[in-house]
Chain A
Amino acid sequence: AQTVTQSQPEMSVQEAETVTLSCTYDTSESNYYLFWYKQPPSRQMILVIRQEAYKQQNATENRFSVNFQKAAKSFSLKISDSQLGDTAMYFCAFLPYNNNDMRFGAGTRLTVKP
């Protein structure tokens, strides 16, 4: 069974600074997807970024980028130039290829301070 671990229950960052959220996972699969989802307070869960395991290049979406280390089974999210609107719960998620059973980490609550 796959497990996803987010070891930082809470983090904070000053506006305009950079922050990195950690995620590790355990799997015997060789092909899979990894995702970061953002859930603002009382708002909808949205997809921030996705990474396909076979791609060596780290995914980037504007201010959001990942550091994907397949051998280490690590998938961290870097948020650059943090904004107040980045305040949210961030969930790391794992999805094997051709499978619908997505596994979430416990989440990291990020607070961006003015």
Chain B
Amino acid sequence: DAMVIQNPRYQVTQFGKPVTLSCSQTLNHNVMYWYQQKSSQAPKLLFHYYDKDFNNEADTPDNFQSRRPNTSFCFLDIRSPGLGDAAMYLCATSRGGYEQYFGPGTRLTVT
């Protein structure tokens, strides 16, 4: 089945220690998104790639970076995680301008 896969599902990192979350897709969608979702809140868009073009949301902290080496993979790098960065991180994909398909998420804990 075509799908969006996120690894790991659970990640524990120490305060200030860089961490990378990964997302892959078999849908061959040209757009990939990263969202941050805190408990019982709506997902908050961090950035997205339209093909190779990177689009950052204005209020996304510089601490968050992303890489998309090819169509299938996208990474979220958190350079110096703080306690406030503990959240669920959702990856989503779409054909440009259409509905998004979400992965299962990575729950990040910062100790």
Q: Which of A37, A43, A100 contacts B96 (CB 8 A)?
A: A100
Q: Range of interface residues on chain B?
A: 20 to 34
Give the distance in Å from the alpha carbon of A99 to the alpha carbon of B94 in the complex.
11
Q: Is the CB of B45 within 8 A of A101?
A: yes
User: Which listed residue (B42, B96, B101) contacts A106, Cβ 8 A?
Assistant: B42
User: Which residues of the other chain, B, contact A47 by a CB distance below 8 angstroms?
Assistant: 99-101
* Contact of A102 with B40 in the complex, beta carbons under 8 Å: no
A100, B55: Cβ atoms closer than 8 Å: yes
Q: A-B pairs with CB below 8 Å: how many?
A: 47
A10 nearest in chain B by CB position: B40
Query: A50 — which chain B residues lie within 8 A by C-beta?
Result: 99
Cα distance, A60 to B90, chains bound together (Å):
27
B31 within 8 A of A: yes
Please provide the chain A residues from 92 to 114 with a CB less than 8 Å away from any CB of chain B in the complex: 95, 97-102, 104-107, 109
A contact residues around B82 at 8 Å (CB): none
Q: Which of A37, A45, A100, A106 gathers the greatest number of chain B CB atoms within 10 Å? A: A100
> Which of A50, A98, A104 is most buried by chain B, counting CB atoms within 10 A of its CB?
A104
Q: Mark B37-72, 1 if CB is under 8 A from A, else 0.
A: 000111101001010000100000000000000000
Known contacts A44-B103, A100-B50; A33/B41 CB under 8 A: no
**Any A CB within 8 A of the CB of B84:** no
Interface residue A23 (Cβ < 8 Å from any Cβ of B): no
The answer to whether B100 and A102 have CB atoms under 8 Å apart is yes
Q: Nearest Cβ in chain B — how far from A74, in angstroms?
A: 19
Q: Give the docked Cα–Cα distance between A43 and B102 (Å).
A: 11
B81 at interface by CB-CB < 8 Å:
no
B99 touches A45 (CB 8 A): no
CA A89 – CA B102 in complex, angstroms?
15
Indicate if the CB atoms of B48 and A100 lie closer than 8 Å. Answer: yes
Contact surface of B with A, Cβ cutoff 8 Å: 31, 33, 40-43, 45, 48, 50, 55, 90, 94, 96-105
